[in-house]
Structure 1
């Protein structure tokens, strides 16, 4: 696959490396700041349920492109830790759904606060325009990846018409 506007192999190689380093920095920052942080899978599952509302294991598996057995194991951990609970489908369907508990909401909010605090430190010497430009580029990158995968990640701004 060739990128438009001459982004060659060397550029893609550097981009891939920088994205790998970005994910590494995020993981390392959490480990140093909060040893009780949510596991990555818990954070992603809770974030999706928080954004979309109660979801069945099947819906979560489809949303993440994972096997239901994998999601079942991950959600079982959420249930054991009291971060999520099973509830009847609010829309009357047969499948039970997972909803975030009060503790799960508290832990998710705390995790997000740490993320934002760390980001604020990283971009402390950036202008507001530079931070917005990075956000816009990352949104575009993620939406392009979502389009290729055929899996859209719902965003709060989708409902508010921000973009």
Structure 2
């Protein structure tokens, strides 16, 4: 391994295996958000209500997979089905108050975990790393033709 892309491939493989930041953690109610629920809720938070078709397009997943995921999320009280606010035929999924609460709690735990890992990093290093991650993800999204919305932070 002597090329930078070889090292990047290896390090992204390692990043995906670390459970410190992505392992389900118990909430006071005994539940947790699995990774798919966290990502779907994050997308709905940014884009607002979406239909199965829109979620399928956004995630490049089969509608049957999303039906299973959203059904589980509905049973957990994280999302609800509503009529299309724009008058379309398809019903859409919207984040519930419980879903918003659980998403915020999970995000806070993720941020606290990152803060522990990055504890010895300077603000400049942390900002540069964030910028490189955004650029990396944005380039993947550009190649796939599927940009992902970003929060206005």
SS class of match (2:85)? coil
Match of 1:81 in 2: 76
Matched, 1:90 2:85: yes
Match of 1:22 in 2: 15
C-alpha displacement of 1:117: 0.1
Compute the TM-score of the two structures, normalised by the length of structure 1.
0.85
Structure number with higher helix proportion = 1
C-alpha displacement of 1:14: 1.7
SS class of match (1:116)? helix
Instruction: Supply the RMSD in Å over aligned alpha carbons.
Output: 1.8
Matched, 1:11 2:4: yes
| Contact 1:31 1:37 (C-alpha < 8 Å) held by counterparts | no
SS class of match (2:23)? helix
| Inter-partner Cα distance in structure 2 for 1:125 and 1:115 | 17
| Pairing partner for 2:26 from 12, 27, 34 | 34
| Contact 2:21 2:114 (C-alpha < 8 Å) held by counterparts | no
Superposed CA offset, 1:98-137 (max 9, x none): 0011111111101100000001111111110100000100
Q: How many residues align?
A: 150
| Contact 2:24 2:33 (C-alpha < 8 Å) held by counterparts | no
Superposed CA offset, 1:40-67 (max 9, x none): 1111111100111000010000001111
C-alpha displacement of 1:9: 6.8
Q: Structure 2: where are the runs of 5+ without partners?
A: none
Match of 1:55 in 2: 50
